[in-house]
Amino acid sequence: MRVNREKLLTALRNVQPGLASKDIIDQADCFVFHAGCVWTFNDRIAVCAQTQLDIEGAIVAEELFKLLTKLSQDEIEVLGAAEELILRAGRTKAGIRLQEELVLPLDEIKRETDEGTKWSKLPKNFAEAVGTCIFSAGKDATRPLLTCLSVEKDRIVSCDNERLTTHQLDGKIKKPFLLPADAAKDLGAYQVTHYVLTESWVHLRGEAVCFSARIMEGDYPSVDFLLEAEGPEVELPEELPEILDRCGIFAKGEFIQDTFVSVRVSEGRVQISGEGPQGWIKESADCSYEGDAFEFAIHPEFLAQMISHVDSVIVGEAVMKMEVGDFVHAVSLLGE
């Protein structure tokens, strides 16, 4: 059997977010090939993509992916052997251990996404709304509901008890569900168009990829009161995007959504601070604010995205609010 190397690599890249260490679940560190598809599963998400490599079994992902990236031939010859997958490209020949017994619990997902499944169309801006809201999702495991995105009938909501983001959808979701943010962070890589919601999973399908995530049970708390900010409209300094870009250099988290800068606003002045393991930076600019000083934390790229569409914010007694088209972001203020 001959396969196109780049097409195979594309399929493997598509499913990489579902990989995890073997300590989480057996074969979680593997590409699992079954019925013309390649799967990954880490008990939190599962990703499935179509592939030309029509074999059955599991292969540890790291070695297979590295080997394919270091080969230069357009086509690879695949030879089967007991407990081993043999690849030949030009003068290179390699054998990789093939685990013939599949132990990942994929049967439930396969049943829910088989050919007879009725898929519903997603709003066109669903993935965009997920990407907008993910930065405001909570990370406190003692408040598990706030670690999710609340996918409601006509919007997506996220809140960590200090920040709130809502993004209106340009279509309807038939039934609300809670999508854990640690699963949703990988969703932006896929152009998903349809979905199926079951008791424990939401399945989101694109042209050649199916992304499945466990959903959480519970009722998301009412957080709309944070949107009721009333107060003066404050103009933002023109140079703020450049300041955020510089301050974001040091404000690095383990993941992109964990990156924050501190914004302090006092009378006539705004100061941005970024700090991380490798250093820190502070920079200030003039602004039109008149009132008591306050401070908040925000993702620098998210704030830069917001202010590329607006040049002012509303500052209330306890909340600052920015509105951009279909989404609103509110931040609780820390006074002095």
User: For residue 32, is pLDDT > 90?
Assistant: yes
Contact criterion met (CB below 8 Å) for 57 and 99: yes
pLDDT higher at 12 or 306 = 12
CA-nearest of 180, 182, 185, 186 to 218 is: 180
Cα torsion for 323, 324, 330, 334, to the nearest 10°?
-90
Q: How confident is the model at residue 110 (pLDDT cuts 50, 70, 90)?
A: confident
User: What confidence score (pLDDT) does residue 295 get?
Assistant: 84
Residue positions counted in the chain? 336
Percent of the chain with pLDDT over 90: 50
- pLDDT-based confidence at residue 333 (cuts at 50, 70, 90): confident
Q: Which helix (H) or strand (E) holds 183?
A: helix 181-184
pTM of the model: 0.82
Residue 28 has pLDDT above 90, yes or no: yes
- pLDDT band of 79, cuts 50, 70, 90: confident
| pLDDT tens per residue across span 178-231 | 999 999 988 878 889 999 999 899 999 998 899 999 999 999 998 888 787 778
The CB density around residue 175, as the number of other CB atoms within 10 Å, is 10
Half-sphere exposure of 69 (CA within 13 A, CB side): 10
* Cα–Cα dist 17/182, whole Å: 11
Top pLDDT among 80 and 162 is at 162
What's the CA gap between 14 and 232, in Å, rounded? Answer: 47
pLDDT at 321: 87
Q: Return d(Cα 249, Cα 121) in angstroms, integer.
A: 39
Domain 120-224 - what CATH class? alpha beta
Give the number of other CB atoms < 10 A from CB of residue 53: 22
Q: What is the pLDDT of residue 236?
A: 81
Tell whether the model's pLDDT for residue 169 goes beyond 80.
yes
Q: How far apart are CA 312 and CA 77, in angstroms?
A: 60
| Least confident stretch, 77-81, 151-155, 207-211 | 77-81
Burial class (CB in 10 A: 0-12, 13-18, 19+), 239: exposed
Averaged over 60-87, what is the pLDDT? 91
- pLDDT over 90 at 92, yes or no: yes
256 pLDDT higher than 60: no
What is the b/e burial string over 79-105, where b = at least 16 CB atoms within 10 angstroms of the residue's CB?
A: eeeeeebebebeeeeeeeebeeebebe
AA identity, residue 224: D
Return the CATH number of 2-105, one of 2.30.40.10, 3.10.129.10, 3.10.150.10, 2.60.120.10: 3.10.150.10
Question: Could you report the per-residue pLDDT of 285-294, keeping only the tens digit for each?
Answer: 998 888 888 8
Q: What is the mean pLDDT of residues 59-76?
A: 94
Contact by Cβ (8 Å): 260, 253: yes
User: Using an 8 Å Cβ cutoff, are 329 and 322 in contact?
Assistant: yes
Report whether pLDDT(145) > 90.
Answer: yes
List the structure tokens of 247.
């301050």
Q: What is the pLDDT of residue 253?
A: 62
| pLDDT score, position 196 | 94
Mind giving me the DSSP string for 111-156? HHTSTT--PEEPPTTHHHHHHHHGGG----TTSGGGGEEEE-SSEE
The two tokens of residue 201 are 């999973």
Q: How far apart are CA 242 and CA 188, in angstroms?
A: 25
- Rg of the chain over all Cα atoms, to the nearest angstrom: 23
pLDDT (average), residues 80-104: 89
User: What are the domain boundaries of the chain?
Assistant: 2-105, 120-224, 228-335
Say yes or no to pLDDT of 334 above 80: no
For residues 28 and 314, the model is more confident at 28
pLDDT (0 to 100) of residue 258: 65
pLDDT at 121 over 60: yes
Average pLDDT score over the chain = 88
Fold that domain 228-335 belongs to in CATH: DNA Polymerase III; Chain A, domain 2 (3.10.150)
Q: Which residue has the higher pLDDT, 22 or 201?
A: 201
